[in-house]
Amino acid sequence: MPPIYHLDNYESCLQRSGDVYCTTHFSLVSEAPSELLDIIQEYSKDTATHFNHSKLRYGLCLLESCDSYHTREATVTTQLLEACLNRTFRDQYNLQTRVTKFSCNEYNETVENNFSDFCMGLILFTLAGLAIFSSFLDIYLPKIKLEGSYNIFKISYEIFENLESSLF
């Protein structure tokens, strides 16, 4: 029985311009009577205890899995995905596929920054600035004794003081 889910490696797929990764939902069919398809359909009827093994979901790197059907310039169609899947399923199970839904991602060089990226950068920059400022005060102004809430601030952010206290 073919596996319900199969995923090619997404990260290694989208490395160069023209690389395409597609997720496909498809059904198993057969032009001629197929004992395996009958077994799969009979097994899948009991939905309370079994998954439907005639409706499969695969993630395919087209340049790896469908190299003879897909070129970098070609657009992805249902027929292309069916031809690619049919090659595998005919060879291994003597079955065919019918793609019901697919979605593809292409390699994209641009990185999109959004508001949450900006906020995270601002928070990290602020914390780094506070740590540097506290360390500067610790090194260059060691004789000044400031009272009150500064001591809590100083204890929290002094790099050298915290490093020395944790090592010795």
Sorted by where each begins, the domain ranges of the chain are 5-106, 115-167
Rg of the chain over all Cα atoms, to the nearest angstrom:
29
Confidence of residue 1 (pLDDT cuts 50, 70, 90): confident
Non-local (6+) Cβ contacts of 42 within 8 A are none
> What's the pLDDT at 148?
52
> What's the pLDDT at 157?
57
Taking the complete model, does pTM exceed 0.85, yes or no? no
Cα dihedral across residues 48, 53, 55, 60: positive or negative: positive
Kindly report which listed range (15-29, 85-99, 150-164) carries the lowest average pLDDT score.
150-164
Q: Residue 91 pLDDT more than 80?
A: yes
Non-local (6+) Cβ contacts of 160 within 8 A are 135, 138, 139
> Across residues 14-42, what is the average pLDDT?
86
2 touches 28 (CB < 8 A): yes
> Across residues 57-85, what is the average pLDDT?
81
> What's the pLDDT at 101?
94
> What's the pLDDT at 168?
62
> What's the pLDDT at 88?
86
Q: Which string of b and e fits 17-31 if b means at least 16 CB within 10 Å?
A: eebbbbebebebebe
Q: Which of 7, 38, 37 is nearest to 22 (CA)?
A: 7
Non-local (6+) Cβ contacts of 5 within 8 A are 56, 57, 58
Q: Which of 34, 82, 43 is nearest to 60 (CA)?
A: 82
